[in-house]
A and B are shown apart, each in its own frame.
Chain A
Amino acid sequence: MKYLLTILIMIPSLVSAQSAQEIIRMVDRNERYVTQKYSVTMIITKGKRELKKTFYGYGQKKGEKSLIVFTNPEDRGVRYLKLDQELWIYFPDADDIMKISGHMLRQGMMGSDISYEDMLESGDFEKKYAYVLLPEQVIDGRPCFVVNCTAKVRDATYARQVLFVDRQRYVPVKIDMYAKGGRLLKRMTLSDMKNISGRIVPMTIKIRDMRKRGTGTVVRFRSISFDVPLDAGTFTRRSLRRK
C-alpha cells in the first residue's frame, strides 16, 4: 500500500535480484526522488455507479511529506497534509485545520477504499516487515517475483502483505494485504506502466476492499513529474491554508 500512498512508484528495469530483501531493496532504491508533482483522477465505484474526484499533489523525500488538494466540486479546497506519521486535514468552509488520529484513521479517504491508515503507511517499510521469497507466479502474462512481507512491529497497518513484482521491470503489479487472522483485506493492482524521466510508473492503480461487495477505487494519474522545484514551505501546516 505504500506505493499508492506516496502516489508514486518508480521502479528500475535492468536489475536482477535473488533474495526477497534484494528485490525489495531494488524496488525501494528506485523510489528515490527529491520532489514530485502530480494530478490524479480518483474513481470510486459501487456496482454500476461511480463517483469521480480529482486532486493534485506534491511529495517530498519518498512521500514522507505530501500535500493533496481536491479540485472536484463536492470536495473543492479540502486539503490533506502528511508529515511523516502525522496527517492533517483542512476544511475550507470553516477555514479550520484538524489532525486525523485515533479511530478516525480507519475511515476511508473521501469515501474511497484508501483509509487514512493507508495514507500513513509509508517509509520504514524495511523496518516494519520481514521478507520471504515465495515461488514465482505469472500475472497478466508477465513472470513475477512473489514476496511475502510479514509485519515485525505492532503498528504496521497490515499483518501481512504479498507483493507481486514484475521480474523484468521490478515494478509491483499486484499487492495483497492481509489481516492478522489471514483474511484478505485489500488488493491493489498496478497497470499502464509508463516511462517517465527514466522511471517506470504505473499510471493506473486499482484498490479493492475485499470485505465490501462491488466496490472499488481507481486512481489514475493524469500527469506526474519528478524532482520539480517546490517552495520551501510547501509541506508545512500553514501551507494547508495557502495552496
Chain B
Amino acid sequence: MRAKILYPVCALVLFLFLCADAYAGLVLTGSLRNDAVETIDNDPDFNDILEGKLVLEARDGRDRWMFYSDARVYYYYGRVAEEAGYNEVILMRSFIRYFSTAGDFTVGKTYINLGNPGVFNIFEFDKSLRLNDLSYDREGILAAEYVCYCGSSFEAKVYGGTYHRDRDEYSAASHCAGFSLRGNTGLFDFGLAGNRLDSNRNLAGLFFKGDAGVGLNGSWALHFDDSGRKAFHEAGAGIDYSFVEGRLVTSLQLYYNESGAGKTGVHDISPDYYFSSQYYAYMNMTGKIDEFLSLKADLFANMVDGSLLFIPGSRFVVADGLALEIQVFVPTGKGDAEFSQDTYGYAGTLIRVEGKF
C-alpha cells in the first residue's frame, strides 16, 4: 500500500523538478462507481463493488512534459469480499511522458498497447476479461516506452518493462519487451508486433484494422519458446457495421487459440488465452435511442461446448457525467460447459451507478 502511494508521489516530484520553469498546474478528476450484482439460482448471493477513481494530471506550460496518475480504491461486500478482501487499492497507471521532436518517451507504470485494442487483443498482456465492462481500462506495467511518428501514417513503438501476474502459478514477476510497427494506407491500419512476455514466452504477429464498406479487423500471432519450439497459433478476426445513421452498431468477433481446450469440460487457466477453449465468438449490438438512452446486447459463445453467455443491458445518462446502467447475465450451458448455469446460476443482474467529476 505504501509503495503504491509513494510511487506516484515520487513521479510527481520528479515531474515538477523537470518542468519547474514552466509548470502549468495540476488537474484532478475522477469518478465514483457502484456495481450491485445479484445472482439468481438455488443459492442466490449479492455482491457490491464500490470503485473510487482518482486521476491526477499535470503538464508543463509548453506541452513538453506530462505527468499522469490513475489510482483506484475498491470496497467490496458479499462473496467477492471473501476472495479479494473488503478493500483494495490499485494503482492503474502512473507515469511521466516527455514529448520531443524525436518521439514520445514514457517512464513509469503505463498501459502498453500493441496490436488491435478490444475484446480479443492478441497482443494483450492480461487476457482476463471483465464481462460486466468490456471497455474497462487495463492496469499498466512498469515500463519505459518510446513511440515515434512519421507523419500521420506511420508509428513505431518499443518498450521494455516488468509486470506481476496474480493468476495462480503465474504470480512471479516477469520481464518483458516488445515492439510494434503500424502504418495506415487510408482505408486500413496495419502493422506487425513482437513481444517477449516472459522467459520462454514469445510471440510475433500481424494485425490490421480498417473499413472497406464494413469495418474489418484481424490479428494473428505465433507463440514460441526461446528454443523456437512449443509453437502455437492465436488469431482473431472481426467485422462491424452500423445502421440507421450510426444509431445501431453491430459487431462480430471470432477468436482462435490453438493451445486452448479442444473438448468440453476443460477450464484450465492460462495467461496465454482468454477463457479456456480453442474457439470463441463475441457479438455485440448497441442501439442508441438518443444521447440519453442506449440499449445493448453482448453475447459470448464457447464454440467448442456450445454454451453461451448472453448479456443484454441498457444505459441511461441522467446528466453529463452521471449514468445508470442495468445488465442481465444469462448463461445457457449445462453441466461442465464453460458458461454453465451450474456454475454461474440461472441468471444475474447488475445495476451500476457511475458519476464522473
Contact = CB atoms under 8 A, between A and B. Distances in A.
B292 interface: yes
Nearest to B289: A46
A233 B186 CA distance: 21
Interface of B: 29, 31, 63, 66, 97, 99, 101, 103-104, 110-111, 113, 117, 135, 137, 147, 149, 151-152, 155, 184, 186-187, 189, 210-215, 241-242, 245-247, 249, 288, 290-292, 317, 319-321, 323, 356-357
B242 A107 contact: yes
From DSSP, what is the main secondary structure of chain A's interface residues?
mixed
B158 to A, nearest CB: 15
Contacts of B212: 102
B218 to A, nearest CB: 16
Contact of B320 (A73, A211, A238): A73
Contact of A95 (B63, B113, B135, B356): B113
A236 B292 contact: no
Nearest to B29: A76
Given A83-B152, A107-B246, 13 more contacts: A73-B356, A74-B320, A76-B29, A93-B137, A103-B214, A103-B241, A106-B245, A107-B245, A107-B249, A112-B291, A237-B155, A238-B149, A241-B97
Contact of B245 (A88, A95, A115, A231): A115
Interface stretch (A25-33, A47-55, A141-149): A47-55
Contact of B184 (A99, A103, A215): A99
B117 A96 contact: yes
Given A51-B319, A74-B320, A106 B246 contact: yes
Contacts of B31: 73
Interface of A: 44, 46, 49, 51-53, 72-74, 76, 83, 86, 88, 93-96, 99, 101-104, 106-108, 111-112, 115, 211-212, 215, 231, 233, 236-238, 241-243
B332 to A, nearest CB: 30
18 contacts: A44-B291, A51-B317, A51-B319, A53-B320, A73-B321, A73-B356, A94-B135, A96-B113, A102-B213, A102-B214, A103-B211, A103-B246, A107-B246, A111-B288, A233-B101, A237-B155, A242-B99, A243-B63
Nearest to B31: A73
Contacts of A101: 187, 210-211
Nearest to A243: B63
B137 A102 contact: no
B320 A72 contact: yes
B339 to A, nearest CB: 26
Contact of A237 (B152, B215, B247, B323): B152
Contacts of B215: 102-104
A103 B250 CA distance: 11
Contact of A74 (B117, B211, B321): B321
B63 A49 contact: no
B255 to A, nearest CB: 19
Nearest to A106: B246
Contacts of B110: 95
Nearest to B240: A103
A211 B244 CA distance: 11
A197 B282 CA distance: 54
A179 to B, nearest CB: 12
Nearest to A211: B245
B156 to A, nearest CB: 12
